[in-house]
Amino acid sequence: MNRRLAGALTGRATKWAVLIVWLLIAAGSAGFAAKLTDVQNNEASSWLPESAESTRALAKLAPFQDPDSIPTLVVYERAGGLTEDDLAAIEVDASEFAELEGVAAPVEGRLPPIVSPALAAQAGFPAVSEDGEVAQTQITFDLGSEGWEKLPDIADELREIAAIDGGQVYIAGTGGQASDSAEAFGGIDSTLLFATLSVVIIILLFTYRSPVLWVLPIICAGVSLFSAQALIYFLAKYADLTVNGQSQAILTILVIGAGTDYALLLVARYREELRRHEDRHEAMSFALHRAAPAILASASTVVLGMLCLLFADMNSTAGLGPVAAIGITVTFVVMVTLLPALLVIAGRWVFWPRRATFGSAEPTQSGIWAKVGRAIAPRPRPVWVGTTILLAVACLGLLTLDTNGLTSEETYTTEFESVTGQQALVDHGLVDQSNKVLIVANADQADAVRDAATGIEGVEEPSPPVSKDGVAFIEATIDDDPSTRAAFETVERVRTAVHDVDGADALVGGGSAFFLDTLNASERDSIVIIPIILVVVLLILMALLRSILAPLILIATVVLSFGAALGLSSLLFKYVFGFAGADPSFPLFAFVFLVALGIDYNIFLMTRVREETMHLGTRRGSLVALTSTGGVITSAGLVLAATFLVLGTIPLVFLVELGVAVALGVILDTMIVRSVLVTAINMDLGGKIWWPSKLDRDDHRLTPEEIEAPIETVH
């Protein structure tokens, strides 16, 4: 940042103007930030692209069912068998269900919206298990585009009506899963915010050892979050930006974590300058001038990395990109305007009891990072080669990573009612009647399509075709759980069969088809987006460091760190947490956050190395840069790792795995990759690291005397 601009933002009068502007923005944002949950779209069917077959099938199903229809199961279970009175009561329950708000209207040629065990028997499929212990009633709701939010209340009404003495009732099917998902995210915003702030405050207290200083970064993080949420609310409401519970949770973590990181870097540089300048306004001007480029480069890397998600086929993934980019952009602006203003308004006393007095010595001479740097300097090549080998070995854990998706039972870290109900059906040999393949085709080929879909392994006999407006509709029940590999293979067999019918233009949708298309789209997104992110980050590093070799090396170290983090995480997921696998989008999300955030610490380090190199040479500059930035970067890494671990408070395996993987990767980046691997490579290559730039022409090795000499930063 230009010295004049930095000084203008923190002048004796302008600091108050900056504060007043942000107070007005924060006051205006708070109310709209609270409304962000009102514009969330947590309906999974809307996350797929329009090109997906299940999405196209859903569009053509409009004459036969509402696109927002929600099949729901009420599962009854009694150990020892349901009695005659139980079965009679279940039929009575079905008539009461019909009185509930939102039950779908009957459709000609299809089963009625409520299918009790007795009606199911007439239709030719069992709804009571052979052992007599389990029965199911299927209800189809049509609640409109906003209906998913009503499901928890509807589930409560279903339980109240269906309760049986001495037995169990579960709400399962798509409606039950949606209700449980709403419960999983219910109240999570305040819980997540409280947990994240608590963790960050503890780390800041430990880092600053001041009972006051931590308040300022927390205030700024809060202003960043509210302002970003308000802006995203307007974009979601008026510009069709996709926001869901997961992206809002990640936004909270990202803004507070990244904002605290930027604050740590700026405060550390400000503390240095306070020792050199008696006037705190002048000290902040120098601190902002020197720290802002690194913070800007870091924020730009994250923003552009997140915007790469716009290339995703999955709407849920593409929607996260702008949400995260907006959050980081707002956070950057707050941290280079409001935080400096607050610091100069507060004065030196805010550092109490460790005040940075003018002319005091810099505490970099004998700290742990000075010792690490001096240990690496005499033999850098064995250090970086050995470190690389260790990280490569950790990558072998990737062999245990299964990203073929999770079944309904495996999606949550706690056992929800819908999962228990689904398992009760499986254990007692009943088929989930709400899990169907939904086939649409040209009406003149309806019989041929039905014949093609008949006799396929894993699917019941298809229903007779129903035709409207030249389109025929056929449905058939799948024998397996909707999100299992067996169900996916069944969908593929059905698609292959009906696609071969000439002139039918057949499309296959339904729950399992949706999960299969999600898996395929997620795999495609990873293949396409990961290389794009690497190229974008590489170009940013080249522009920042004015070098080709250094950015290539940094990218290689971050990719190696990503592989090691994912490998170690995979072992933890399988052998410690007992998770069955991972969501297909997990590798992409983990990569985006680890590369975009992990490169931050290398940016913080390498911009300081470049600054010191111009005065001290690369090898000596690397030692000084590690020593002067080691503490703040380590603290920043701990903050970010801890905030991502807070995702574990949400009972979704995907978010728990993402939090663990990112936290582990950040720790590897700060403790090993940045401090050991990158520093060792810098000291080994010396001035060659800046190729083709000739920044450091004096490429001499450090002598023992130079290694042990007092460490002083550039003034």
How would you class 355 by CB atoms within 10 Å of its CB: exposed for 0-12, middle for 13-18, buried for 19 or more?
Answer: middle
Domain shared by 150 and 238, yes or no? no
The predicted structure's pLDDT at residue 664? 93
The predicted structure's pLDDT at residue 639? 84
Residues 6+ apart with CB under 8 A from 298: 261, 262, 599, 600, 603, 604
Domain shared by 275 and 316, yes or no? yes
The predicted structure's pLDDT at residue 5? 66
Q: How confident is the model at residue 363 (pLDDT cuts 50, 70, 90)?
A: low
Domain shared by 376 and 269, yes or no? no
Order across the sheet with 466-468: list the strands. Answer: 466-468, 471-477, 436-442, 507-509
Domain shared by 175 and 324, yes or no? no
**Do residues 631 and 269 make contact, with C-beta atoms less than 8 angstroms apart?**
no
Which one has a higher pLDDT value, 29 or 706?
29
Which one has a higher pLDDT value, 201 or 359?
201
Least confident of 174-188, 245-259, 277-291, 587-601: 174-188
Which one has a higher pLDDT value, 285 or 359?
285
The predicted structure's pLDDT at residue 604? 83
**Residue 60 domain flag:** no
Domain boundary among 185, 204, 229: 185
Largest CA distance in the chain: 93
The predicted structure's pLDDT at residue 349? 79
306-360 pLDDT tens trace: 999 999 888 888 888 999 999 999 999 999 999 999 999 888 878 877 666 655 5
The predicted structure's pLDDT at residue 91? 92
Domain shared by 523 and 395, yes or no? yes
437-454 pLDDT tens trace: 899 999 999 999 999 999
Q: How many domains does the chain have?
A: 3
Q: How confident is the model at residue 4 (pLDDT cuts 50, 70, 90)?
A: low
Residue length of the chain:
715
**Residue 428 domain flag:** no
The predicted structure's pLDDT at residue 356? 65
Domain shared by 31 and 156, yes or no? no
Domain shared by 255 and 393, yes or no? no
* CA atoms of 269 and 272, how far apart (whole Å): 5
Q: At what angle do helices 14-33 and 215-238 cross, to 10 degrees?
A: 50
* CA atoms of 149 and 165, how far apart (whole Å): 30
Whether residue 697 has pLDDT greater than 70: no
How many CB atoms lie under 10 A from the CB of residue 20? 11
CATH number of 344's domain: 1.20.1640.10
The predicted structure's pLDDT at residue 407? 76
**Residue 533 domain flag:** yes
The predicted structure's pLDDT at residue 364? 52
Residues 6+ apart with CB under 8 A from 114: 94, 97, 98, 103, 137, 138, 139, 140
Domain shared by 152 and 285, yes or no? no
Distances from the Cα of 93 to the Cα of 111, 173, 183, 420, angstroms: 18, 18, 25, 21
For 168, which DSSP code?
A: E
The predicted structure's pLDDT at residue 222? 92
**Residue 656 domain flag:** yes
How many CB atoms lie under 10 A from the CB of residue 365? 11
Whether residue 715 has pLDDT greater than 60: no
Which one has a higher pLDDT value, 629 or 457?
457
Whether residue 704 has pLDDT greater than 80: no
Domain shared by 571 and 659, yes or no? yes
The predicted structure's pLDDT at residue 100? 86
For residue 310, give the amino acid letter.
L
Domain boundary among 360, 393, 428: 360
Domain shared by 262 and 390, yes or no? no
636-683 pLDDT tens trace: 888 888 888 888 888 888 889 999 999 999 999 888 988 899 999 999
**Residue 708 domain flag:** yes
The predicted structure's pLDDT at residue 351? 80
Q: How confident is the model at residue 495 (pLDDT cuts 50, 70, 90)?
A: very high
Whether residue 591 has pLDDT greater than 80: yes
**Residue 648 domain flag:** yes
**Residue 506 domain flag:** no
Whether residue 365 has pLDDT greater than 70: no
Average pLDDT, the chain: 85
The predicted structure's pLDDT at residue 68? 67
By three-state DSSP, how is residue 174 classified? Answer: helix
31-78 pLDDT tens trace: 888 888 777 776 655 677 878 898 898 888 877 776 667 888 999 999
Q: How confident is the model at residue 283 (pLDDT cuts 50, 70, 90)?
A: confident
**Do residues 616 and 628 make contact, with C-beta atoms less than 8 angstroms apart?**
no
* CA atoms of 396 and 386, how far apart (whole Å): 16
Domain boundary among 185, 210, 230: 185
The predicted structure's pLDDT at residue 646? 85
The predicted structure's pLDDT at residue 712? 62
Range of the domain at 290: 1-51+187-360
Q: What is the pTM of this model?
A: 0.83
Burial string for 23-62 (b: 16+ CB within 10 Å, else e) reads eebbeebeebbeebbebbbbbbbbbbeeebbbbbbbebbe
> Chain centroid to CA 402: how far?
18
Whether residue 297 has pLDDT greater than 70: yes
CATH number of 111's domain: 3.30.70.360
385-390: long-range contacts, CB 8 A cutoff, minimum separation 24: 387/672, 387/676, 387/677, 387/680, 388/560, 388/677
**Residue 164 domain flag:** yes
Domain shared by 251 and 356, yes or no? yes
175-194 pLDDT tens trace: 888 888 777 666 666 777 88
Domain shared by 284 and 390, yes or no? no
Left if phi > 0, otherwise alpha if psi is -120 to 50, otherwise beta: which for 88? alpha
Region 131-150 average pLDDT = 80
Ranges 180-194, 264-278, 517-531, most confident: 517-531
